[in-house]
Chain A
Amino acid sequence: MAHDRLWWRVAWRNLWRNRLRTLITASGLAFGYLGAVLMVGVSDGMLVELIENGTRLMLGEVQVHSEDYLPERNMHRTIGGYEGTDLEIFLNQINSQEDVTAAAPRAYGGGLLSSGEETQAALLMGIDPDREPHVTTLLSRVVHGRPLVTGANEILLGSEMVEQLGTALGDEIVVVAPSSDGSMGNDLFTLVGTFDTGIPAIDQNYGLLALSDLQFLMAMDPARIHEVAITVGNAQDSPRIAETLREFLSDTELPVQVSSWTDLRPELAEMVSLMNAFHFIVVIIIFGMAAFGVANTMLIGTFERRREFAVVRALGTAPIGIGQTVVYEGIVLGMISLVAGSLITWPILVWLHNSPIDLTQVSSGFSVGGAQWRPVLRVEYSIESPIVAGLGLFLTSILAAVYPAWKATRVLPADALADR
């Protein structure tokens, strides 16, 4: 133990023999830490943005359907079959789950929209105007007009659909849709608002109606819905939550299928996996570069102290003891760098999280798998990535010390004392 304390003391003091060199090396590691944490933070921000836009906009993070609804989306395959289900009880059951934040029922249909001389095919989505905003941000994308009111035969259209139809707020839209009884339902709806999601597939094709209005149009019982969209606390936990919900709902004897967004948007899930792997590679590259820098500095320090190593060998230190002190220097350097890195990283991280850098001047963003990424450098942080990066930094400084330590153990005392 006394040994150990001696080597720690020697390591600590050795580091401060050349303050400037130690500070430069520690700064390199600290900035490597900043780079790694920031890179992961920016990347996480992009992922969260993509996931949020891919799920929060319309999808929800978990969805419940009748087990045979997907992938054909047959209008007759409603939850609970032709009888449907008691919606309030069903939604309460879902909401009773610990990780579920909110749930909203939906129905879908295909139809034709006409205004004046123009007619367009549309996907009709029936939503609960009160519940939907707790699950998705779709209604917050209404850029002109106002949201829907249930029972008033109102419709919201995407901005591009409005252009195609040549219609305007307040105009009447004729909606024709196949009904569940085999007939064709048709009715007049008033355009009360337009939405702009930035995703052409949605803005060109969707028409939003109040759930009960769509059910009436399609001659569906109010107990019949096609989908329950659910939002959860953490989107990345969706697969686990979907599994839990699946097990829970299996007890209700309703033949349902529970899917997480990773099932519903596999291309987005792939993108997330790819970016997580990319994180890992970039962090390895950053710390790999730092490791060579630290190893180089420590190697120089080791060569400079060959004579001292020879002296402590002559005094009775085993070669392993010499290596030990060099590794301890790496550990102490790692600790100094970690403290410095944390001190510079956290304020920058919090600042960037609260004030994302707007890149709209240089980029217009992109969309992946129906999820849009706005060109805003959003930084997300958790306790996890700084800890992992801290361990990476620590490991880097220790690994960087291993080769110099090995070289130190190989010093030939007689040669070093004679400056050979």
Chain B
Amino acid sequence: MKTAVRTTNLWKIYPQEPDPVEAVRDISIKIETGDFVAMAGPSGSGKTTMLNMIGGLTRPSQGQISIGDQEITEMTDKDLAQLRLEHIGFVFQSYNLLPVLTALENAEFTLLLSGIPKDERRKRVLELFNKIGLSGLEDRKPGKLSGGQQQRVAVARAVVANPALILADEPTANLDSKASADLLDVMERLNQDHGTTFLFSTHDPRVMERSRRLITLVDGQIESDKRQNHLSVSS
């Protein structure tokens, strides 16, 4: 199986006074293409820092990161932006939709950046909205959507360009149980239908349960890394 993400002896040290903070300490992991992986751990364990480094949003202090067959640690900001546009989708804890754009415009954002023609963009977004239960909400601004709906728009935005890898930072943290379950259904379905690799950071047991691989971090290091039985999408 191909490797979607590989980190080698990854360190992230924040230069703080009086002592530097070692957020990530010597982590080496390999994530296979099409996997559904949760990275768990308490606050401050380094989950978000790991996601940010893998997504090229912050640079490691030491070590290497490869996305697919591309080594990204030496890439320029512009090349990293292009890599994210073509290969990586992001889902954030607090949705982070652009408030001035409608649900549809938010979802088609990456397609627009990729220069996909309008008709094609609309077709793909509307199909996706239909699949994830957002039909009829296309013209609403984020402020007029519930938290669950906003997070589904965020997922639509992340997956609409068919990236190979989705990085989701605590995607269910602000959602109730029902919305969380619905969102996980959506993401599992996309994972199964498109073979998209998902890597979550979470401390939500429901997400941990439904991941196929659970990596637990403590104090910036891997405490455990285990495969688990995967529950199918709820009906």
Contact = CB atoms under 8 A, between A and B. Distances in A.
Interface string A10-26: 10011001000000000
A13 B84 contact: no
A3 B112 CA distance: 6
A9 B78 CA distance: 23
Contacts, number: 82
B112 A316 contact: no
Given A2-B115, A3-B115, A315 B100 contact: no
A308 interface: yes
A312 B157 CA distance: 11
A10 B97 CA distance: 13
Interface in B61-104: 77-78, 81-82, 84-86, 88, 90, 92, 96, 98-101
A319 B92 contact: no
A13 B52 CA distance: 29
Interface of A is mostly: helix
B13 interface: no
B204 to A, nearest CB: 19
A413 B58 contact: yes
* Size bracket, chain A contacts: 20 to 34
A12 to B, nearest CB: 9
A91 interface: no
A318 B78 contact: yes
Q: Which of B81, B85, B101, B116 has the most CB of A within 10 A?
A: B81
Nearest to A6: B112
A314 B78 contact: no
A313 B85 CA distance: 9
Contact of A413 (B57, B82, B99, B118): B57
A312 B118 contact: no
B100 A313 contact: no
A308 B58 CA distance: 16
A307 interface: yes
B57 A417 contact: yes
Contact of A315 (B48, B105, B113): B113
A3 B113 contact: yes
A412 B85 CA distance: 17
Contacts of A318: 77-78, 81-82
Contacts of A311: 90, 92, 96, 98
B84 A414 contact: no
B115 A315 contact: no
22 contacts: A3-B112, A3-B115, A9-B101, A10-B100, A13-B100, A17-B99, A17-B100, A307-B96, A308-B98, A312-B98, A314-B84, A314-B92, A315-B84, A315-B157, A316-B82, A316-B84, A316-B86, A317-B85, A318-B81, A318-B82, A321-B81, A418-B48
The bracket for how many chain B residues form the interface is: 20 to 34
B15 to A, nearest CB: 13
A8 to B, nearest CB: 12
Nearest to B116: A2
A327 to B, nearest CB: 17
Interface in A303-352: 307-308, 310-321
Given A10-B98, A311-B98, 6 more contacts: A314-B84, A314-B90, A316-B85, A320-B78, A414-B52, A414-B57
A317 to B, nearest CB: 6
Nearest to B158: A315
A316 B96 CA distance: 14
Minimum-distance CB pairs A-B, first 5: A316-B85, A13-B100, A414-B58, A414-B52, A413-B57
A314 B57 contact: yes
B174 to A, nearest CB: 14
B112 A319 contact: no
B92 A316 contact: no
A347 to B, nearest CB: 34
A307 B105 CA distance: 18
B55 interface: yes
Contact of A314 (B55, B86, B100, B117): B55
B100 A14 contact: yes
A319 B81 contact: yes
A153 to B, nearest CB: 86
A413 B48 CA distance: 12
